[in-house]
């Protein structure tokens, strides 16, 4: 009986170690996803700045009194369109990265709860094993006392 409980405790300890390794891998993945998210946000800010600058240039070229060259206008409009498409693509990537980060964080929460549950179960098993040993010792002491009483009588 005791050996079976010890094996269960060993299995629980191994599973707890494995869960902790998984949790550390999730933390690393979360860190990488966070970095990716920040890179995308930085790119989006840069593109926003470029778009604003190009729009300002386009507006200033349309002001009365300045000569507008059709080729320049078309090039600037194509540039703005290209940057806008890049921005939309980056927003989409940002959304995917945000969703992935949220999934990772939810998975970390679930793993944390599992690990906590495993640790509580392990602690209970240790207490049960200690109580079994204590009960065995007490029963041996009781038997010794009863034997002593029989011998005296």
Question: Could you state, in chain order, the average pLDDT of each consecutive group of 10 residues for the chain (153 residues)?
Answer: 76 80 85 86 85 75 63 80 88 88 86 82 83 87 88 80
Structural domain harbouring 45 = 2-148
Residues 39, 17: Cα–Cα separation, whole Å: 33
CATH number at residue 18: 1.10.287.1490
Half-sphere exposure of 79 (CA within 13 A, CB side): 17
pTM beyond 0.85: no
Residues 62, 51: Cα–Cα separation, whole Å: 17
CA distance to 44, 71, 75, 108, per residue, from 67 (Å): 32, 12, 15, 60
Q: How many domains does one find in the chain?
A: 1
């Amino acid at each position: 009986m005791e050996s079976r409980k010890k094996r269960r405790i060993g299995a629980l300890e191994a599973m707890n170690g494995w869960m902790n390794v998984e949790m550390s891998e999730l933390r690393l993945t979360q860190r990488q996803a966070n970095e990716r998210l920040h890179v995308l946000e930085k790119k989006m800010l840069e593109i926003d700045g470029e778009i604003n600058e190009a729009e300002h240039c386009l507006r200033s070229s349309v002001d009365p009194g300045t000569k507008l060259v059709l080729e320049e206008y078309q090039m600037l409009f194509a540039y703005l369109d290209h940057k806008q498409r890049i921005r939309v693509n980056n927003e989409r990537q940002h959304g995917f990265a945000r969703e992935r980060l949220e999934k990772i964080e939810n998975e970390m929460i679930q793993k944390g709860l599992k690990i906590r549950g495993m640790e509580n179960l392990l602690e209970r098993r240790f207490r049960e094993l200690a109580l079994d040993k204590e009960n065995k010792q007490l029963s041996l002491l009781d038997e010794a006392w009863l034997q002593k009483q029989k011998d005296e009588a």
